[in-house]
Amino acid sequence: MKPTHHLDDATLLSYSSGALPAALAVVASTHLECCAACRAHLLDADQIGGMLMQQQRVDAPAHAAREVMLALLDAEPAIQQAAPPPDIVEEHDLDRLPSALHPWFGHSMRALRWRRVAPGVQRIRATGIGGGDLMLLRIAPGSKLPLHSHGGSELTVILDGAYDDMLGHFGPGDVADLDSGVHHQPVTSPGLPCICVAATDAPLVFSGWIARTLQPLFGF
């Protein structure tokens, strides 16, 4: 798979520095397993971050260093292709979950035990992870999710199936890197259920009163 939606530069910076909340870092790692472009960009961020840390010790304020790093990341990457780590599987195995998810959900897609939380929506929530909420979602084909925004950050990676929203078409490997400024309504594609892993660091903000009323029951 070759993803067309990638991690934001700011997310890569946070991931590189270890500042990304744990749940979000798991989803970022899931995308990085299948995205050579983001792995290359991450290596650039690691290298630039090391140089800026040296400079910051001398005279650079923290906010200035971050702005410099973002500007450098916008430039042409110094590394055109990163070699994937040994445990990365480039071929799409429909049963194998990405390695980053194994500690939380096991290895096999078929072995997952889903729980219905809403019409057409099933979920498995990870337990014991700090720094946000991590879950697998299985959404029936042709489903329209409630219109919503985000109370904080959200990362979602498609494992199988697809959905469309105002940001475009998201298929296997794609990541939706969203913040509180995004207001959208995903609609899953016909044919296959949309299976994704999602992490948030704050609850979603639903627009309709029915969705807001039922939100505590659904746990989103």
The yes-or-no verdict on residue 65 having pLDDT over 70 is: no
For the domain that residue 193 is a member of, what is the CATH number?
2.60.120.10
Same domain, 129 and 201: yes
Mean pLDDT of 130-145: 93
CA pair distance 161, 163, nearest whole angstrom: 7
For residue 19, is it within any domain? yes
For residue 94, is it within any domain? no
Whole-number pLDDT of residue 70: 56
Q: Please indicate whether residue 116 or residue 207 has the higher confidence score (pLDDT).
A: 116
For residue 82, is it within any domain? no
Domain extent at residue 134: 112-218
Look at the chain and report how many structural domains it folds into.
Answer: 2
For residue 99, is it within any domain? no
Same domain, 181 and 125: yes
Same domain, 67 and 150: no
The yes-or-no verdict on residue 178 having pLDDT over 80 is: yes
Same domain, 126 and 198: yes
**pTM score of the predicted model:** 0.77
